């Protein structure tokens, strides 16, 4: 009896989590122009509209480009930092960890407004570089956390063995450690990319017309009448999210297999 109630409650909550997404995606394939069911028919016209629109298409390229650049910067800075944090101990580790993880807890509106104020005088507002820098700062903690987690499964004795065989610290890292934690690094990069792809508040405050990203365009599209092209844009973002989720799941499974064997 108790078990049945538990199942009913759990499944209902799972449905609540999925329902809005399940509801919005089919609408974007509608042949009509209304945002409710039943659909008059299926078509790809709203996706055609999306890909021929100079409101949405540049935003798609901006999102992908800025996300990729931010992920590269965050991974390039975050991976060595995670390795350093793993080797470090004591006060250095806790202080550095506090700063590194701060972007995860500071409300993003504070970051957005502070960057608007700081980037203004140095000419970084309404530039691609400015948005990449901001998104890299927001994504870096995810890289550090993910790489640190994959380092948990790495035996540091191997580094001493490499040193005993005559490898310098850099060579030991690149030849011994990095190949083993590579899935974790890649997962971290995906996290950073997803962070940038999802981010809207900073983009809202510091980007100009040339840097409009997909979520930012959606935000302004939602303030007016919602169009079905907006639903198509949402469908695109859902597709990206599913791909990224699958990528991370695959990478993490690979990482575990490596750590296990």
Partner 1 sequence: MRRRAGAALLIAPLLLFLLLTFVAPIGAFLWRAASDHEVGPVLPRTVAALATWDGTTVPGEDTFAALVADLREARARDRETGAGLIPRAAARLNSDRPGFRGLLPATARRAEAPFEGSARDALLAISEEWSQVETWGAIRRAGGPLSSFHLLTALDLRQDAAGGISAAPPDEAVFRAVLLRSLWISLLVTAVCLALGWPLAWLIATAGGRASTLLLGAVMLPFWISLVVRTAAWMVLLQREGVVNAALKGAGLIETPLPLMLNRFAVVLAMVHILLPFMVLPLVATFRALDPRLPRAAASLGAAPWRAFLRVTLPLCLPGVGAGCLLVFIQALGFYVTPALLGGPNDQMLAWFVGFYATRSVNWGLAAALSLVLLVAVGLCVAVYGRLAGFRRPGAA
Which of positions 102-141 make contact with partner 1 (CB under 8 A)?
102-103, 105-119, 133-134, 136-137, 140
Q: Does 162 bind partner 1 (CB under 8 A)?
A: no
If one asks whether residue 7 binds partner 1 (CB under 8 A), the answer comes out as yes
Minimum CB separation from partner 1 for residue 118, in Å? 4
Pick 149 or 182: Cβ nearer partner 1: 149
Three-state SS for 179-195 is HHHHHHHHHHHHHHHHH
Task: Pick the stretch among 45-53, 93-101, 174-182, 250-258 that binds partner 1 (CB under 8 A).
Answer: 93-101
Residue 255 binds partner 1 (CB under 8 A): no
Q: Which stretch binds partner 1 (CB under 8 A): 46-54, 145-153, 174-182, 253-261?
A: 145-153
* Contacts of residue 229, Cβ cutoff 8 Å, sequence gap at least 6: 46, 49, 50, 53, 56, 221
Of residues 205 through 244, those in contact with partner 1 by CB under 8 A are: 205, 215, 218-219, 222-223, 226, 230-231, 234, 237-238, 241-242, 244
Contacts of 210 (CB under 8 A, 6+ apart): 126, 128
CA–CA separation, 92 vs 137, rounded Å?
20
Interaction of residue 78 with partner 1, rule CB under 8 A: yes
Under 8 Å between Cβ of 228 and 138: no
- Classify the C-alpha dihedral 258-68-172-175 as positive or negative: positive
Q: With binding defined as CB under 8 A, does residue 13 bind partner 1?
A: yes
């Amino acid at each position: 009896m108790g078990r049945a109630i538990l199942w009913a409650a759990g499944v209902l909550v799972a449905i609540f989590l999925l329902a809005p997404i399940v509801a919005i995606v089919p609408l974007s394939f509608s042949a009509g122009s209304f945002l409710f069911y039943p659909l008059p028919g299926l078509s790809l016209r709203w996706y055609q509209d999306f890909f021929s629109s100079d409101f949405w298409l540049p935003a798609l390229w901006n999102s992908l480009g800025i996300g990729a650049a931010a992920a590269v910067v965050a991974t390039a800075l975050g991976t060595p930092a995670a390795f350093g944090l793993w080797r470090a101990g004591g006060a250095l580790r806790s202080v550095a960890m506090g700063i590194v993880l701060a972007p995860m807890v500071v409300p993003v509106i504070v970051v957005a407004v502070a960057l608007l104020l700081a980037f203004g005088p140095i000419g970084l507002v309404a530039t691609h570089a400015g948005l990449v820098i901001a998104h890299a700062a927001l994504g870096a903690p995810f890289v550090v956390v993910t790489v640190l987690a994959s380092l948990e499964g790495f035996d540091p004795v191997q580094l001493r063995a490499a040193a005993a065989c005559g490898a310098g610290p850099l060579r030991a890292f690149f030849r011994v450690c990095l190949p083993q934690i590579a899935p974790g690094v890649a997962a971290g990069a995906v996290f950073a990319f997803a962070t940038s792809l999802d981010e809207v508040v900073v983009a809202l405050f510091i980007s100009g017309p040339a840097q409009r990203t997909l979520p930012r365009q959606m935000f302004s599209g939602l303030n007016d009448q919602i169009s079905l092209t907006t639903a198509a844009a949402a469908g695109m973002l859902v597709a990206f999210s599913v791909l990224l989720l699958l990528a991370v799941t695959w990478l993490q499974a690979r990482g575990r297999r490596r750590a296990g064997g």
